[in-house]
Chain A
Amino acid sequence: MVTKVVEKFRTMKTPLLSILKELQKDQGYLTEEVLKEVAKELGLSPARVYGVATFYSLFSVTPKGKYIIRVCESAPCYINGTMNILEMLQDELKVDVGETTLDGLFTLELTSCLGVCGVAPAIMVNEEVYGNLDREKLSHLLSRCRGM
Chain B
Amino acid sequence: MELVELTIDGQEVRVEKGTTVLDAARSIGISIPTLCHYHGIDAIGACRLCLVDTGGRNLAASCVTVAEDGMEVKTNTPKVREARRTVLELILSAHPDDCLKCVRNRNCELQTLAENMGIREFTYEGEKPQFKQDDDNPAVIRDSEKCILCRRCVAVCQDVQTTRILFPQNRGFDTVVAPDRLAPLGETACIFCGQCINVCPVGAIVEKSYIADVWAALSDPEKHVVVQTAPATRISLGEEMGMIPGSIVTGQMVTALRRLGFDRIFDTNFAADLTIMEEGSELIHRINNDGPLPLITSCSPGWIKFCEHHYHDLLKNLSTCKSPQQMFGALAKTYYAEKMGIDPADIVVVSVMPCTAKKFEMMRPEMDDSDFQDVDYVLTTRELGRMLREAGIDFSALPVEDYDEPLGISTGAGEIFGATGGVMEAALRTAYELLTGEELPGLDFQAVRGLEGIKEAEVKVGDLTLRVAVAHSLGKSRQLLEKVRSGEKEYHFIEIMTCPGGCIGGGGQPIPTTDEIRKKRLAAVYTEDKNMPLRKSHDNPGVQKLYEEFLKKPLSDRSHRLLHTSYRERGKFE
Contact = CB atoms under 8 A, between A and B. Distances in A.
The judgment on whether A and B are partners is: yes
B171 A50 contact: no
Contacts of B169: 47, 50-51, 54
A46 interface: yes
A137 to B, nearest CB: 32
B167 A45 contact: yes
A14 to B, nearest CB: 16
Contacts of B168: 51, 55
B481 to A, nearest CB: 16
A61 B170 CA distance: 11
A113 to B, nearest CB: 17
Count class of interface residues, chain B: 10 to 19
A100 B331 CA distance: 60
Contacts of B164: 45, 47-48
A56 B169 CA distance: 10
A47 B171 contact: no
A43 B506 CA distance: 28
A45 B180 contact: yes
A46 B170 contact: no
Nearest to A32: B181
A55 B175 CA distance: 8
A47 B166 contact: yes
Nearest to A46: B180
B179 interface: yes
Residue among B158, B168, B169, B178 with the most chain A CB within 10 A? B169
Given A47-B164, A48-B164, A57 B171 contact: yes
B124 interface: no
B167 A55 contact: no
A45 B170 CA distance: 16
Contacts of A55: 168, 170-171
Contacts of A61: 181
B73 interface: no
Interface string B160-193: 0000111111110000001111000000000000
B158 A45 contact: yes
A32 B164 CA distance: 18
Contacts of B215: none
A57 B174 CA distance: 12
Interface in A1-46: 32, 36, 45-46
Given A45-B158, A46-B573, A51 B181 contact: no
Residue among A32, A48, A61 with the most chain B CB within 10 A? A48
Interface in B139-169: 158, 164-169
A32 B180 CA distance: 10
Given A32-B181, A50-B180, A45 B171 contact: no
Contact of B573 (A36, A48, A51, A54): A36
Nearest to A48: B167
Nearest to B162: A45
A125 B223 CA distance: 70
Contacts of A36: 573
Nearest to A51: B167
Contacts of B166: 47
A36 B183 CA distance: 14
Nearest to A56: B171
Contacts of A45: 158, 164-165, 167, 180
Residue among B166, B168, B171, B180 with the most chain A CB within 10 A? B180
B175 to A, nearest CB: 8
A143 B573 CA distance: 46
Nearest to B168: A51
Contacts of A48: 158, 164, 167
Contacts of B181: 32, 46, 50, 61
B146 to A, nearest CB: 20
Residue among A49, A51, A56, A61 with the most chain B CB within 10 A? A51
B170 A47 contact: no
A51 B158 CA distance: 13
A69 B181 CA distance: 25
B564 to A, nearest CB: 33
Contacts of A49: 180
B188 to A, nearest CB: 8
A57 B180 CA distance: 18
A36 B572 CA distance: 11
A48 to B, nearest CB: 5
Interface in A48-80: 48-51, 54-57, 61
Contacts of B180: 45-47, 49-50
Nearest to A61: B181
Contacts of B170: 54-55
A49 B170 CA distance: 11
A47 B168 CA distance: 8
A108 B358 CA distance: 48
Contacts of B178: 47
Residue among A32, A36, A47, A61 with the most chain B CB within 10 A? A47
Nearest to A52: B167
Given A32-B181, A45-B158, A45-B180, A50 B167 contact: yes
Contacts of B179: 47
Contacts of A51: 167-169
B165 A54 contact: no
Contacts of B171: 54-57
Nearest to A36: B573
Contacts of B158: 45, 48
A25 to B, nearest CB: 22
Nearest to B574: A46
A40 to B, nearest CB: 9
Nearest to A40: B572
A99 to B, nearest CB: 16
A63 to B, nearest CB: 15
Contacts of A54: 169-171
Residue among A36, A46, A48, A61 with the most chain B CB within 10 A? A46
19 contacts: A32-B181, A36-B573, A45-B158, A45-B164, A45-B180, A46-B181, A47-B164, A47-B179, A48-B158, A49-B180, A50-B167, A50-B169, A50-B180, A50-B181, A51-B169, A54-B171, A55-B168, A56-B171, A57-B171
4 closest Cβ pairs, A-B complex: A45-B164, A47-B167, A46-B180, A51-B167
Given A46-B181, A47-B167, 8 more contacts: A32-B181, A36-B573, A45-B180, A47-B178, A50-B180, A54-B169, A54-B170, A56-B171
Interface of B: 158, 164-171, 178-181, 573
